[in-house]
């Protein structure tokens, strides 16, 4: 079972690549979705977050107030590290469970771990390939401001809170440049898919 790690900074086009791979037949395990699950109301992880960062990071219904938590950690490396220490172990355990389930269901499946924080959390794992979605910082700022509605300062703070491009690219076996058109990105993904499926 080929196991690929797909990573990239915020607004790098990683989700687009994951969607194309899913269309081609890959089993995509979404780390962000798992993060939301392990932070569900009543979960041990959410209780630990509230204990660490204060009960005001919870909404009245007991769910996580993500903007409030984001304001505490983005631009504050020590606080972000504290958050990651609470969340990453639970995400790793659930991710591994899903990898194992995919392998049991189909030993030939191509499994893609869609994980924005690979360099921060799981960079040392034994992946068959590490795929990095890449776009220059200024292009990512433009996307965050123009598409997601962030201020430029917030966009730069979010980008700055993640690993730098050089750190991510150092992990890469394959780099997919998402700077130009969607068709160009898809062509690169198709080349990757052909490479992986030929090797099975």
Beta strands in 8-96 (DSSP E): 27-30
Q: What is the pLDDT of residues 163-192, one digit of tens each?
A: 889 999 999 999 999 999 999 999 999 999
- Distance between CA atoms of 50 and 134, rounded to whole angstroms? 34
Nearest to 112 by CA among 101, 128, 124: 128
Residue-wise pLDDT tens digits, 115-160: 987 876 544 567 999 999 999 999 999 999 999 999 999 999 889 8
Distance separating alpha carbons of residues 82 and 85, to the nearest angstrom = 5
Q: For residues 71-90, give the mean pLDDT.
A: 90
The 10 Å Cβ neighbour count of residue 138 is 8
Cβ within 8 Å of residue 108, ≥6 positions away: 1, 200
> Which domains are delineated in the chain?
3-199 (3.40.50.300)
pTM above 0.75, yes or no: yes
Report how far residue 194's alpha carbon sits from residue 82's, in angstroms, rounded to the nearest whole number: 40
């Amino acid at each position: 079972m080929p196991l690929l790690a797909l990573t990239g900074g915020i607004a790098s086009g990683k989700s687009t690549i994951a969607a194309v791979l899913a269309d081609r037949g890959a089993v995509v395990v979404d780390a962000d979705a798992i993060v939301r699950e392990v932070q569900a109301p009543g979960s041990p992880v959410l209780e630990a977050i509230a204990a660490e960062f204060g009960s005001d990071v919870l909404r009245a219904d007991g769910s996580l107030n993500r903007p409030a938590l984001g304001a505490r950690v983005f631009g504050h490396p020590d606080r972000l590290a504290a958050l990651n220490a609470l969340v990453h172990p639970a995400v790793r355990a659930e991710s591994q469970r899903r990898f194992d389930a995919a392998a049991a269901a189909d030993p030939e499946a191509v499994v893609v771990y869609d994980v924005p924080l690979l360099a921060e959390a799981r960079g040392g794992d034994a992946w068959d390939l590490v795929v990095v979605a890449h776009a220059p910082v200024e292009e990512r700022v433009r996307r965050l401001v123009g598409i997601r509605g962030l201020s430029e300062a917030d966009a730069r703070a979010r980008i700055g809170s993640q690993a730098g491009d050089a750190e991510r690219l150092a992990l890469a076996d394959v780099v997919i440049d998402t700077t130009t058109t969607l068709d160009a990105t898809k062509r690169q993904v198709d080349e990757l898919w052909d490479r992986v499926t030929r090797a099975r």
